[in-house]
Amino acid sequence: MILLSDFTANFDESARAPVQKHETVSGWSVGLILFGICLTLPSLYTGAITAQNLGFIGTAQAVGLASLVLAMMSVPAAIVGAETRLSSYLIIEFVFGGKGSKFVNALFGLTLLGWFAVTAGFFGETLSIAFKEFFNVSPPTWLLTFISSALIIITTIFGFKAIDRLALFAVPLLILFLIYVSNLSLGEVGFADILAFDGEDPDYFSTAVSTMIGSLIVGVVLMPDLSRYARSIKDCIIASVLGNGIGTSFSMLVGVIPAIVTGLLDPMAYMIALGLVISAFIILVFATWTTNSINLYSTTLAVAIIKTKTPEWKLAIICGIAGTALAMIGITEYFIGFLEWLGVIVPPVAGIYLTDYFILKQKNYSMTLRENLPDYDHAALFAWIVATSLSAGAFVADFSFSMIPSFDALIITVPIYLLCRKFWPSQYPRNEKVT
């Protein structure tokens, strides 16, 4: 039991308490983790398919706009996390009430568990391809999914610091590999030819921007999970620009050149076509490992707020096993449609807690107030339901005033919440900020 105690003692137990000053890191460290989250195969694929439709220049414009919007949206969310030192799930508890927050946190937990399962399943399938390429053997995909997920669970048990160290090693390596892939693909094609490549559908621009933002909006809403470790507002800005700004741009654009040169959309396919089987394998492993550690880490934070008496390291194992089981039985194929809907449901949560913090100045997040919070904050819950319903209706009707459904959902929540607050004044005002 000594070894188990030593092992679990490393788990980050700050989901239910503020991060301490000595635990904080620079904005570069937080931004590097966010950068790593962006470096996924879906991001590379998104960039490639956008280039197929818009060409290189059109893709660069779409990526630039999406990255700018994501960075701007993440800064205020990051500041809330850095100033309160709380996870997004505790922030939600203060805003939605002790019991009301459980509905919101359950939604986030389910969302992130689903992403963990989807990524784990995809990881297992790709590992199976790699084993066949390297060793000419085909282990069961479920076995590879199980083993790889177990390693990711172990990383997550060690908490933020372990993920931080993993990102510090993995992200620079990924950047170098991806730059090498793009450079190699230019061996027989001039850059002028890349710039001259025309896409098939110039009307795809708004869809491209919406897709790019929608794929990362959940991470923006949950920005406090990482930014609570940032030392200052300046570090929040650095993390947002480096992670959600530059990270998004790099991950979407770095795969465009090899995709155009080879005519292949799938990252694994065009890397193999370029003779980079080993490089492709390394990129996949580290990108997926970092991203899925974050998915499981955030899932654990959400569940920890609901299951307050269960140690967080146990919750990480339980959630990891549940997500792995979903991946092994193939349920991830049916889960993606549901996750896409969450891109419309999640942003109103950020709209409410940002409005509460910056407009209504409800900035007192002292843990001494937590036991006196109301069970349900009717204004926050009603605003969430109304804003989500309107956003979902607009999504079904294919209507968007900004061409970005997730951004629409965030913006319309602000006046709705302010109006609801007029009908239901706060039962426990938190206007005074604790210093």
Write the pLDDT tens digit of every residue in 234-266: 999 999 999 999 999 999 999 899 999 999 877
Task: Tell me which residue of 309, 349, 417, 313 sits closest to 91, measured CA to CA.
Answer: 349
Residue identified by tokens 């819950």 is: 381
pLDDT of residue 14: 58
Pick 79 or 109 by higher pLDDT.
Answer: 79
Tens digits of per-residue pLDDT, 373-413? 899 999 999 999 999 999 999 988 988 888 788 889 999 99
Query: How far apart, in whole angstroms, are the C-alpha atoms of residue 417 and residue 423?
Result: 10
57 pLDDT more than 70? yes
Q: Which amino acid is at 226?
A: L
**Tokens encoding 288:** 């997926």
Predicted confidence band of residue 109 (pLDDT cuts 50, 70, 90): confident
3-state DSSP assignment of residue 25: strand
- Neighbour-count burial of 386, counting CB atoms closer than 10 A to its CB (0-12 exposed, 13-18 middle, 19+ buried): middle
Is residue 384 situated within a structural domain? no
Is residue 207 situated within a structural domain? yes
The secondary structure of 146-160, three-state, reads HHHHHHHHHHHHCHH
Pick 301 or 144 by higher pLDDT.
Answer: 144
Structurally, the chain folds into a number of domains equal to: 1
Is residue 232 situated within a structural domain? yes
Is residue 379 situated within a structural domain? no
Query: How far apart, in whole angstroms, are the C-alpha atoms of residue 147 and residue 185?
Result: 33
> Where do the DSSP E strands lie in 47-123?
none
3-state DSSP assignment of residue 198: strand
CATH number of the domain to which 213 belongs = 1.10.4160.10
Q: Which amino acid is at 211?
A: T
Pick 302 or 389 by higher pLDDT.
Answer: 389
Counts for the chain of helices (H) and strands (E), in that order: 20, 0
Say if CB 195 and CB 56 are below 8 A apart.
yes
Query: How far apart, in whole angstroms, are the C-alpha atoms of residue 274 and residue 271?
Result: 5
pLDDT of residue 238: 97
In which domain, by residue range, is 206 found? 29-339
**Tokens encoding 254:** 């770095």
Task: Tell me which residue of 356, 420, 423, 358 sits closest to 92, measured CA to CA.
Answer: 356
Spatial CB neighbours of 16, under 8 Å, sequence gap ≥ 6 = 90, 304, 305, 308
Query: How far apart, in whole angstroms, are the C-alpha atoms of residue 12 and residue 29?
Result: 17
Taking the complete model, does pTM exceed 0.85, yes or no? Answer: no
What's the start-to-end Cα distance of the chain, in Å?
41
Tens digits of per-residue pLDDT, 174-205? 788 889 999 999 887 888 889 989 888 888 88
Is residue 136 situated within a structural domain? yes
Is residue 334 situated within a structural domain? yes
Say if CB 274 and CB 88 are below 8 A apart.
no
Pick 216 or 413 by higher pLDDT.
Answer: 413
Is residue 364 situated within a structural domain? no
CB atoms within 10 A of CB 81: 26
326 pLDDT more than 60? yes
Is residue 238 situated within a structural domain? yes
pLDDT of residue 340: 67
Average pLDDT value for the chain: 85
Phi, psi of 375 (to 5 degrees): -65, -40
Query: How far apart, in whole angstroms, are the C-alpha atoms of residue 345 and residue 330?
Result: 25
Tens digits of per-residue pLDDT, 123-153? 888 788 778 777 888 899 899 999 999 989 9
**Tokens encoding 390:** 């309107």
Q: Which of 160-164, 315-319, 399-403, 421-425 has the lowest mean pLDDT?
A: 160-164
